[in-house]
Amino acid sequence: MNTLAAFELARAEGADGIELDLRLSRDGHLVVIHDELVDATTDGFGSVADLTLAEIKRLDAGSWFSDSFAGEPIPTLDEVFEAFGSDLFINIEIKSSQDSLDRMERQLAQCIRRHNMRERIIVSCFDPVVLQRLRGLMPMVMMGFLYQPDMPAEHYLPLKKLWHEARHPRHDMVDQGYMNWARAQGYIVNVWTVNDPQRAIALRDLGVNAIMTDEPGLIIGALKPC
């Protein structure tokens, strides 16, 4: 759940960082929400790209998950940086329609500079072309390429021109052979989404750098030394 309350819970449970999804409102604000439509996770309807920030802020983004989160608003990236930027690492996944990407990329670069967050974030995306464009705007910000097994081969072609520090594979793509390859290439490996404690332990033992999970307390507890 992309809300301040969820991020606060992750911090309380001992997470080192948080992962969030970023979209652009109609009036050009960076808002933290996963879906293109607000229908599934709020009490509203419509596309994020068609709503102003004021309209987005009136939505209840917590009740769908639990009554205890009722009334929780959709945060802006500025609000997340202000609340968690000093003590949590933040993985920002870019999600937006093609016609708004140029505006989003520039807004994101400005927001990162405004909060001096360059060394406490990684920007990730399934689209390597987006990462390539962001690299031009933010050459010193870490970039991570998100991918999964069913991606067509041509999707990987732009990576030949993209300098990026990290690979973000779906966790079931990772075994010893994968880790040997990634280390030989010099990549950091951050995996998603791991909610099974035994799988988390196996990935730790393989040497992954970070594990993304919906259950930070459960996974952190499993990974603690006996």
The pLDDT assigned to 226 comes to: 67
In a domain, 40, yes or no: yes
Q: Which of 160, 156, 140 is nearest to 148 (CA)?
A: 156
Q: Could you please report the per-residue DSSP string of the chain?
A: --SHHHHHHHHHTT-SEEEEEEEE-TTS-EEE-SSSBSTTTSS--SBGGGS-HHHHHTS--STTT-GGGTTPPPPBHHHHHHHHTTTSEEEEEE---GGGHHHHHHHHHHHHHHTT-GGGEEEEES-HHHHHHHHHH-TTSEEEEEE-TT--GGGGGGGGG---SEEEEBGGG-SHHHHHHHHHHT-EEEEB----HHHHHHHHHHT-SEE--S-HHHHHHHHS--
186 lies in some domain: no
Amino acid at 92: I
Smallest Cα–Cα separation from 19: which of 166, 158, 155, 134?
Answer: 166
Please indicate, yes or no, if residue 159 is contained in any of the structural domains.
yes
Give the tokens for residue 101: 């990407």
8 A C-beta contact, residue 36 and residue 48: yes
User: What is the number of domains present in the chain?
Assistant: 1
Q: Is residue 223 part of a domain?
A: no
CATH code of residue 44: 3.20.20.190
Q: What is the model's pLDDT at position 99?
A: 62
d(CA 10, CA 18): 7
Whether 149 maps to a domain, the answer reads yes
Please report, in tens digits, the pLDDT of each residue of the chain (226 residues total). Answer: 899 999 999 999 999 999 999 999 999 999 999 999 999 999 999 999 999 999 999 999 999 999 999 999 999 999 999 999 999 999 999 996 566 778 899 999 999 999 999 999 999 999 998 999 899 999 999 999 999 999 999 999 999 889 999 999 999 999 999 999 999 999 999 999 999 999 999 999 999 999 999 999 999 999 988 6
In terms of Cβ atoms closer than 10 Å to its own Cβ (0-12, 13-18, 19+), residue 68 is exposed
State the residue for tokens 């960082």.
17
Distance CA 113, CA 63 (A): 34
Range of the domain at 10: 4-164
Q: Which residues contact 89 (CB under 8 A, 6 or more apart)?
A: 16, 17, 18, 120, 121, 122
Rounded to whole angstroms, how far apart are CA atoms 166 and 108? Answer: 19
Q: Judge whether 177 lies within some domain.
A: no
- Residue 217 covered by a domain: no
Q: Specify burial of residue 50 (Cβ count, 10 A radius: 0-12, 13-18, 19+).
A: exposed
Residue 188: inside a domain, yes or no? no
